Amino acid sequence: MDPVGKRRTFAIISHPDAGKTTLTEKLLLYGGAIHLAGSVKARRASRHATSDWMAMEKERGISVTSSVLQFTYGGLRLNLLDTPGHQDFSEDTYRTLLAADSAVMLLDNRKGVEEQTRKLFDVCRLRTLPIFTFVNKCDRVGEDPLKLLDDVEADLGLPCTPITWPIIRGSDLLGVVERPNRTLHLFHRQGDHGQTRAGVHEVDFDSPEAAERLGDEIHDRVEEELYLLDAAAAPFDREEFFAGRVSPTFFGSALTNFGVEPFLRFFLEQAPAPPSRGTRQGERVDPRGDAFSGFVFKIQANMDPKHRDRLAFLRVCSGRFEPGMTVKNVRSGRSIRLAQPQQFLAQERQKLTEAWAGDVVGIHDRGDLRVGDTLSANGDIDFEGIPSFSPEHFARTIVADPLKRKHLDRGLRQLSEEGAVQLFYSDEVAGPQALVAVVGPLQFDVLLHRLEHEYGVPARLEPLAYKEARWVTGPEEEIRRLGRGYDRSLVRDQRERPVLLFRSPWARRQLEESEPEVTFHAVAPDV
Ligand code: G4P
């Protein structure tokens, strides 16, 4: 009877097309939540016909913000937080990682670490999240496995410890060896495009049968590779993994299911249960504590145009959540009754009966909540806040009707407080006009839609040529001096913190390297 100890809350970090949807499906397949892979994608497509999400979402055929998959697997309750990757990459994708307790880094075996993986990895590192690595698409020729792992280490500074090792013949993945117990998993194709579990034969790698099945040449080669791996790196160490200093690594193919099962088994054994969480007061909240607490990491607006409600995503951190309970919003001091809370399965919302630390609950919000708010039974703790992440798209908002200026300012302010966009104020431009900035361009579409439908302000955006922002700390006069460059501008965020906007990552890197007195932060420092 330890509901918290059974929870595993995690996210998959990857670049688009690495195979996240395919791997997610296989998790559901092996966990028994679905019987034939292919149904998640099919449902995703068919749901658009009946979806009552905002019209814009329908037009573009993508989900505006991410959802949560909850399912039971091997006696555990898994919460898989979706991190949208394609056009819908946004600040919410980063924020979702603040609600996860571990991450699976999914790599394409030809491409290794790609841009989006790196950005998401940086957020995981910020939180010292334990990271599993799955090298996908090994059913077709890719980079040499040792070279790939070296590249990951050089790129991210994260050593990878292979737990399984691939056995490749030409362009075929014959199987993997599980290094800790030297079990050889030999695969055979099912001929059903990975809809059902892979056919696997397990045998001791050091047995005569293994040598016979692989053939002496391949067996000898793999034996030597295993010997080299054993000599090169220490065995897997759970403490190092929990400290985010090493990543247990797996090879396989989500498409054919090869190598997926040993990965999942290891994941179930090693993924951390919900840990304690830090507060601004300095103490840590025990996830098994009696008093309820949680924090809002995302707010999704207007999912149902008929109700124009908003859905706040609450990560439970302690206590037992029950529908209808009354909690305190620590920031505003107000009590809120949490009526009609919801749980998620893909994009279907379901009624919820109870939730524990690690779970994510959707609660209706009429504008009382903000990203980062702590909700708790006693109202006496405040979780560490949710930081702002460097935006990559910047614009000025233009309204045709000057009488609507005030409405615009109010709308922008409220939407930024909610966490939908960031606002920056320029020292040079007179007046209160703010620059709006977002991580993903879809946030701009959402902004315009909401300005028009919620605030009655039809507006358009004039893009600005900046590509990155960095919060800067250091001597004020130095910061002002740095703001005077042709390829950058000095602005302030809503909390008056100085921020430099750059026209290119290159310009930023150059300045960063030449100015030791000033520190550059990709994530807003909590000062
Ligand atoms: P994403 O969610 O990370 O964007 O990736 P997704 O799973 O949609 O996979 C992207 C493409 O890569 C898909 O091909 C998918 O079938 C393929 N893929 C995923 N895992 C593997 C794998 O292990 N091996 C190989 N060879 N391919 C893999 P597609 O042609 O774009 O789509 P589809 O027609 O197959 O759905």
Domain count, the chain: 3
Residue 199 belongs to what domain range? 4-63+102-270
| pTM as predicted | 0.89
Residues 230 and 255 in one domain: yes
Residue 25: CB within 6 Å of ligand 1? Answer: no
Helix (H) or strand (E) holding 121: helix 115-126
Choose the final residue of a domain: 270, 294, 316: 270
Helix axes 442-455, 405-418, angle to 10 degrees: 130
Q: Which residue has the tokens 């292979």?
A: 162
Residues 133 and 262 in one domain: yes
Residues 324 and 343 in one domain: yes
- Examine residue 74 and state whether it is found in any structural domain, yes or no: no
pLDDT at residue 527 in the model: 54
Residues 302 and 422 in one domain: no
Angle at 409 between CA 404 and CA 415, to 5 degrees: 120
CATH number at residue 492: 3.30.70.3280
- Residues 6+ positions from 444 with CB-CB distance below 8 Å: 393, 395, 421, 436, 438, 461
Residues 287 and 413 in one domain: no
Residue 443: CB within 6 Å of ligand 1? Answer: no
Out of 105, 255, 260, 261, mutate this one to test ligand 1's pocket (max ligand atoms within 8 Å of CB): namely: 255
Strand 160-162 relative to strand 247-251, pairing: parallel
Residues 444 and 358 in one domain: no
Residues 330 and 425 in one domain: no
Residues 208 and 240 in one domain: yes
Model confidence pLDDT, tens digit, residues 339-375: 777 665 444 455 677 899 999 988 888 888 889 999 9
Residue 139: CB within 6 Å of ligand 1? Answer: yes
Residues 425 and 509 in one domain: yes
CATH number at residue 303: 2.40.30.10
Closest CA to 271 of 130, 163, 133, 136: 130
pLDDT at residue 35 in the model: 56
CATH number at residue 107: 3.40.50.300
pLDDT at residue 118 in the model: 94
Residue 18: CB within 6 Å of ligand 1? Answer: yes
Choose the final residue of a domain: 343, 376, 409: 376
Q: And the tokens for 132?
A: 């599993």
Closest CA to 98 of 124, 72, 132, 67: 124
Residues 34 and 172 in one domain: yes
Model confidence pLDDT, tens digit, residues 401-420: 888 988 999 999 988 988 88
**How would residue 316 be classed by pLDDT, with cut points 50, 70 and 90?**
very high
- Examine residue 387 and state whether it is found in any structural domain, yes or no: no
Higher per-residue confidence, 188 vs 327 = 327
Model confidence pLDDT, tens digit, residues 256-311: 989 999 999 999 999 999 999 999 988 999 999 999 999 999 887 754 555 566 78
pLDDT at residue 426 in the model: 84
- Examine residue 467 and state whether it is found in any structural domain, yes or no: yes
- Examine residue 254 and state whether it is found in any structural domain, yes or no: yes
Q: And the tokens for 21?
A: 């949807």
Closest Cα to atom 16, ligand 1: which residue?
A: 255
- Judged against a pLDDT cut of 70, whether residue 66 lies above it is answered with no
